[in-house]
Chain A
Amino acid sequence: MKEKKTKRRLWRGLATTTTSVLALSLSASMIIDTFRTDIDKFLGTQSTQMVTENQSEDDYAFHSDYSSTTELLDAIEDLGERMNEEGSVLLKNENNALPLSEEETQKVTLLGFSSYYPVQGGDFGSTLSVNTGTDADTVDFVQALTAKGYALNPTVSDLYDTLKDEYQSDLISMWGTSEPVNRITAPSIDGTFKSAELSTDTMDATDSTWRDSMNDYNVMIVTLARAAGENKNYMPGEAGVDSEQNLNQADPLGLSDTERAIINAAVEAKASNGGKVIVILNNASAMEIEEIKDNTGVDAILQVGLPGGYGFYGVADVLSGAANPSGHLPDTYAVDNSASPAAQNYGNFAWTNADSAYSINSELVEAESIYTGYKYYETRYADVVMGQGNASDSVGSSTGGAWSYDDEVSYPFGYGLSYTTFEQTLDSLSVNLAERTVTAEVTVTNTGDVAGKDVVQLYVSVPYTDYDRENLVEKAGIQLLDYEKTDELQPGESVTITIEADAQDMTSWDSTASNEAGTTGNYILDAGNYYFTVGNGSHEAMNNVLAAQGYAEADGMTDAGNAANVQTWTLDAMDTTSFAYTENGTAVENQLQDMDLNYYMPGTVTYLTRNDWSGTWPQTYSDLTATDEMIQIMQNDTYEITAQGDPDSITWGADNGLTLAELKGADFDDEQWDSLMDQMNLEDAMIRTGFGGTSTKAIESISSPEVIQNDGPNGINSYTLGQYANTDENSADPYKVSADDPNLNYKFGTMCNETVIASTFSKEMAAEYGAVIGNYSIWSNLTIFWGAGTNLHRTPYNARNHEYYSEDAVLTAYQAASYIAAGKEYGVIIAPKHYAFNDTEINRSGIATFMTEQKARENELRGVQASIEDAQALGVMTTFNRIGCYAGNAHYGLLINILRNEWGFKGLMSEDFIQDANYSVLKEAVHCGVTMTCNTGDSTMEAVSAKWPYWTVDSVSQDATMMQDLKNVMKWQYYAIANSNAMDGLNETSRIVEVRTWYDNALTGVQIVFAVLTIAAIAMYIRSLKKEK
């Protein structure tokens, strides 16, 4: 009997086990449906397929320049190398220390652990994809130098290898744990910078011969690095440095004593071995390097950015002279970054009445107005020279004494050296307001001994008038208007470059001016003299203008300037009409007044004005209490779905017999769009706007394909080349690949970062990147790319600056626009991000960003405008942060009135990866033209309504306004897709079919097996009971 009861317990236990597993497998079906898209991507499967009859090559509208994946990868590798040839910036080159002779390339000592473990991409976001076994394997600095024939000091190399456990940094993994890596990493949001540089004492103790070994390898290259990363941050000043290290480091972007020691070791060795000391700066955020600049023992400084997987080939070529550097700084290199006016309000400033239930966390008051980067340093410098605005006062001085340019700036924006010399003359300049153009002719002559490329930087200095002072319109002393890069010029060769700049880029936003809309807010041009000049950077340009205005070194100028290189244009009366309408004829008016904190809390913020630098110097705005009105907005419920309008006027579910493929390339105004959109069901529109994450799903009613989204911007790095590539041998696809293609595992997160691309000052190079992205998109079938970082570098402390081009709006605008437009030729949708004002990663989900509308329009938004107006971008990503008090997806003025109305944006728009249902504000987002959130889920109304309870067919179907909004966003979304390479291979017969994947079959199998086992176990249990009896 006892044995029988034991059997009974056995069958009871087994039945419990199988029942539990059966319950798990049945529940898993629900999870699989919810995350089917992500599962498919992870496993490389497809749950839907487009079936097309009579497919031919004519169904493929976009064409690659390459005939194989090998050619494609060769092009990527070649471009990556050339990016750093043209984007590395030579800052110092005493006694022509560079380029190295062939003999010197055989005597190289690499110092600094970052020489061996450099930063090649971001810590998270734009992470380098390391590729091996492909036709374009990635390389680090040592591999690149070796491949280019350099010989490296083996003693020192071995020493660094021996000590590699001593220079580790913490990298926060995907799972939140800390993992040691050998390269330097950026601090987490609430972390501090820890220098990982080896102490020379440790090196001496490990191998005392390393110093002497440099006698035979006396070209000493010291690499200093600062990492970058999404969700990473540098805090200004000593607060941003690990206090336990005691390395005499005043700022995370400044030097530590161990870094100084390694430079000094090289300098000391040079004194005895007669060699050279070259410092490589491997960073995206501007470092504080005044002491290296002033160190007479350091012969050269080369800034290389984050070079990606191939950029170090280019760095090697620059060092050897195989390539002549032509890069220029995209940011000001300040002596003390924390002394800038923007840095006074950079940090974690929590509301006193924060409420995390609504993502109400902190605020950021950008009280510096337009004065970020060189617009601050050069304007204040000009005012010092002109003796106006209390510019010489000590406030903001890094020395504590009177403010002096030389004490504040190490290298100005736009600066860069070459191995040759150039002379530029501004031959002519004309302004045509009717055409909105400024046309300049500049002759560039190579006056040196070697061939090289030069950059023409056209700057303008606009008048700062009494009207401006009275109406708080700020004017930068100098600003970049446009730029062009020459082709390679041989010694003695000249070329005349014609620049046709957009005159709107020299207008100012005046929130008080009347406008054509009958309200206030307008772009103005003040009456007075406009000074145009060229120069190797903003400071040379500023000096030229000051010289033309009659100032001299006796007035405090750092250099005499060249008045002959200045052209003047005079406007007799203030112009408020030429730019009162945008290019598409929309009258401009104030849209962002609620971004000014004073809108809600009058008199709270004093914005910096050049009329009184010391009296308006930004205080730090912290411990603020949001008003009830602000809290109400920040609770993210600003649109009420209600019965309104005539719901019957909106048609859904019509049988018009169209497919999306029939509108390939159709004009936006084509009447068929309305017919196609009428075919869509309301449910389709509501589900697709709610669950738009990671891919834009297929919609059966319009036969739209699934379109894969990808992150960047250092290349399409979300998936391998082969994951979605067409391996169907019977396909008519001209770009199908063999299943055994060696490059299918290639991952294109290999390009240099955006500051390098900006440093090229070459729209052509940016366009080449767009073209190669486009080609890759065609081969990989990866169409949507969140890949153009257009946020500005407000301060260097944002560790995500590597994804963005520059501190300057114009450089950002035209690099991004060139890139996007070139990619569009190949059908890839390159989307600018993050629209807009993602100026910090601190509390980015909810931080309320405040600024004047003038700053917003002339800085950040000017950096995006060309991507929409000129490049006609078909995608945009919104931002995590708030726009003033409104969630990033909920500011109607920014998203509809400026982006879609003023600029004419007609593409798809996604939120960033916001998973909180309250903060992703679905109804507000749709009302503001956002075509999809980044959430994923089962494609059912039940699933989407579970996430957003207000999002039901019953409620929305009564709201004609919301239904029209849904119509609008769906049209924008599918217009973009219809004009992309996602439509390649489709024709009017294309239909969606659902496919059972192997994992569907496997799960069904598991369910059946465990159902049978459960029944069997229960049966055996019953049998055992009977035996008991």
Chain B
Amino acid sequence: MKNKSLGFYITIITAILAVVGVIFYLINCNTDYFGNLGVNAGVVACMVIAIVLELVYGFGYKASAKIFDLIPLVCGALMMVAFVLFISVRVNGIASILTFENNAQTMADLTSAVVGMVFCFLAVIFNIIGSFFKVGKDEA
């Protein structure tokens, strides 16, 4: 760990944010209101692959292996696609909750969706930020 730099820590934060995002996604998929949408395999696959790649990037980074530098690009694309898939099927439901079906239960169901979306989006942002920083000291 002594050889790790700021990029490593941002990468780990990114992975944690992505994990939290996918957990809240799964929680939301099991809420009363959004449960009928089911679990989108695309969202889960994109996020899980991105998380694994982030971990590989963080812990396995070797400055000499240029292929590692592709990982942030792939992760960014995967997480962004997951984020869009997460949101897109929920837009109508969110609109309905905020207007026609606003009550305590639907607002609670909405909360997990919003939290999940926020974490997914933050993971995208942190992935971008982390890609600007060196992961290991040997990179400098």
Contact = CB atoms under 8 A, between A and B. Distances in A.
Interface of A: 2, 5, 8-10, 12-13, 15-17, 19-20, 22-24, 27-28, 30-31, 34-35, 124, 172, 174-176, 188-190, 230-231, 356-357, 693, 843-845, 880, 912-918, 935-936, 946, 1018, 1021, 1025
Interface in B70-121: 72-73, 75-81, 84-85, 87-89, 91-93, 95-105, 107, 110
B36 A175 contact: no
Given A20-B127, A914-B96, 8 more contacts: A13-B128, A13-B131, A20-B77, A22-B77, A23-B77, A23-B81, A175-B98, A915-B92
Contacts of B81: 23, 27
A13 B77 contact: no
Given A13-B128, A23-B76, A1025-B66, A845 B101 contact: yes
24 contacts: A2-B140, A5-B63, A5-B139, A12-B69, A16-B73, A16-B75, A17-B76, A17-B131, A20-B79, A23-B80, A24-B80, A24-B84, A27-B80, A31-B87, A176-B107, A190-B104, A230-B100, A913-B99, A913-B100, A915-B95, A916-B93, A917-B36, A935-B92, A936-B92
B15 to A, nearest CB: 15
Contacts of A914: 96
Contacts of A231: 99-103
A917 B34 CA distance: 10
A23 B95 CA distance: 25
Contacts of B4: none
B134 interface: yes
Nearest to B30: A357
Nearest to B133: A9
Contacts of A5: 63, 134, 139-140
B33 interface: yes
A231 B102 CA distance: 7
B124 interface: yes
B60 interface: no
Given A5-B140, A9-B134, A356-B32, A20 B101 contact: no
Instruction: Please name the 4 residue pairs, one residue from A and one from B, whose CB atoms are nearest each other, closest first.
Output: A13-B132, A356-B32, A20-B76, A27-B84
Nearest to B46: A23
Contacts of B89: 946
A20 B125 CA distance: 9
A114 B108 CA distance: 34
A35 B132 CA distance: 35
Contacts of A1018: 73
Interface string B31-48: 011011100000000000
B73 A15 contact: yes
Given A5-B139, A9-B133, A357 B36 contact: yes
Contacts of A2: 140
Nearest to B77: A23
Contacts of B69: 8, 12, 1021
Contacts of A1021: 69
A9 B128 CA distance: 11
Q: How large is the interface on B (under 10, 10 to 19, 20 to 34, 35 or more residues)?
A: 35 or more
Contact of B99 (A8, A124, A1025): A124
Given A28-B84, A34-B88, A16 B100 contact: no
Given A20-B77, A176-B107, A189-B103, A915 B132 contact: no
B96 A915 contact: yes
A1004 B41 CA distance: 28
B99 A35 contact: no
Contacts of A15: 73, 131
Nearest to A914: B96
Nearest to A35: B91
Contacts of A918: 36
Nearest to A917: B36
B101 to A, nearest CB: 6
B84 A31 contact: yes
Nearest to A175: B98
A357 B32 contact: yes
A10 B132 contact: yes
Contacts of B76: 16-17, 19-20, 23
A252 to B, nearest CB: 18
Contacts of B36: 357, 916-918
Given A23-B77, A24-B80, A917-B36, A190 B103 contact: yes
Given A176-B98, A190-B104, A1025-B66, A12 B131 contact: yes
Nearest to A28: B84
A914 B104 CA distance: 17
Given A916-B33, A917-B36, A12 B105 contact: no
A2 B35 CA distance: 52
A795 B97 CA distance: 26
Contacts of B140: 2, 5
A357 B29 CA distance: 11
A913 B128 contact: no
A20 B124 contact: yes
A20 B93 CA distance: 26
Contact of A356 (B7, B75, B88, B105): B105
A913 B110 CA distance: 17
A985 B29 CA distance: 47
B121 to A, nearest CB: 10
B127 to A, nearest CB: 7
A5 to B, nearest CB: 6
B26 to A, nearest CB: 16
B96 A19 contact: no
Nearest to B100: A913
A697 to B, nearest CB: 16
Contacts of A912: 100
Q: Which of A8, A190, A880, A916 has the most CB of B within 10 A?
A: A916
Contacts of A35: 91
A28 B63 CA distance: 35
Nearest to A26: B81
A188 B102 contact: yes
B68 to A, nearest CB: 10
A175 B99 CA distance: 8
A843 B140 CA distance: 61
A270 B127 CA distance: 73
B135 to A, nearest CB: 9
B81 to A, nearest CB: 6
Nearest to B74: A19
Nearest to A25: B80
A189 B106 CA distance: 12
Contacts of A27: 80-81, 84-85, 88
A913 B134 CA distance: 51
Given A24-B80, A27-B80, A9 B132 contact: yes
Given A12-B132, A23-B80, A356-B32, A176 B72 contact: no
A357 B128 contact: no
Contacts of B129: 13
Contacts of B128: 13, 16-17, 20
Given A5-B140, A10-B132, A356-B105, A20 B80 contact: yes
A549 B132 CA distance: 94
Contacts of A176: 97-98, 102, 107, 110
Nearest to A949: B38
Contacts of B37: 917
Nearest to B96: A915
A915 B93 contact: yes
A23 B104 CA distance: 35
A16 B131 contact: yes
Contacts of A30: 84, 88
Contacts of A31: 84, 87-88, 91
A19 B77 contact: yes
Contacts of B101: 231, 844-845, 915
A913 B96 contact: yes
A189 B107 CA distance: 13
A693 B92 CA distance: 10
A204 B57 CA distance: 71
Contacts of A174: 98-99
